[in-house]
Amino acid sequence: MTLILASTSTYRRLLLQRLGLEFTVQAPAVDESAQPGESAHTLVQRLAVEKACAVALNNPSAVVIGADQLACLDEQVLGKPGTIANAQRQLAACSAQRVEFLTAVSVCCGAQRCVTVVDRTSVQFRELSQQAIRTYVAREQPLDCAGAFKAEGLGIALFSSIHSDDPTALIGLPLIKLCTLLQQFGIDPLAAGAADAG
């Protein structure tokens, strides 16, 4: 069965490679703008589904994985900063605050079958000085990351605690939840590994 990751994210591709499954990557070309009055939870879930469906439409026999992530500080959604100045502003706003990360993953096959889950990860930021923020942004350049940090790198030093059921979710693809979804489509990374090993 063909497996496709509907994402241009290097982080998600590297995470999916951990499962040892063969897959290809296709860009979903989805407008990620929020709809008027749309909650963060609804938005992240909708985008994961739309990304998977956009690629599944042209690959009806494939199993397609779509994902999206948002960072929320109180009621404010923190997107990808895009610039150094925006990254510094985001991190300054997060200093000594609790930020919730919503990571949705959707698995679709054809136009009819699609299953989706949303992971919630809560991160408590340390109190960050302007110098620490400048140093971090200069070293990591986290301009394409929601919330302006990379938990898999130096970004871990920004936090005093992380509360999560799935440690990979914070990087962009909740692998524990994804494995559960893939099993519904007959894809089991452990079974595939056993077949390869045999």
Q: pLDDT of 64-113, one tens digit each? A: 999 999 999 988 898 889 999 999 999 999 999 999 999 999 999 986 78
From first CA to last CA, the distance across the chain in angstroms is: 19
Q: Tell whether the model's pLDDT for residue 193 goes beyond 70.
A: no
Evaluate if residue 194 carries a pLDDT over 50. no
Mean pLDDT of the chain: 92
**Domains of the chain with CATH codes:** 3-197 (3.90.950.10)
pLDDT of res. 196: 46
Model-level pTM? Answer: 0.88
Find how far residue 189's CA is from the centre of its chain.
20
The answer to whether 145 touches 99, Cβ cutoff 8 Å, is: no
13 touches 7 (CB < 8 A): yes
Give the span between the Cα atoms of 124 and 66, in whole angstroms: 27
Instruction: Please list the active-site residues.
Output: 68
Cα–Cα distance between 47 and 196 in angstroms, integer? Answer: 34
The predicted-structure confidence for 27-36, as pLDDT tens digits, reads as follows: 998 998 889 9
197 band by pLDDT with thresholds 50, 70 and 90: very low
pLDDT in tens, 135-148: 999 999 999 888 88
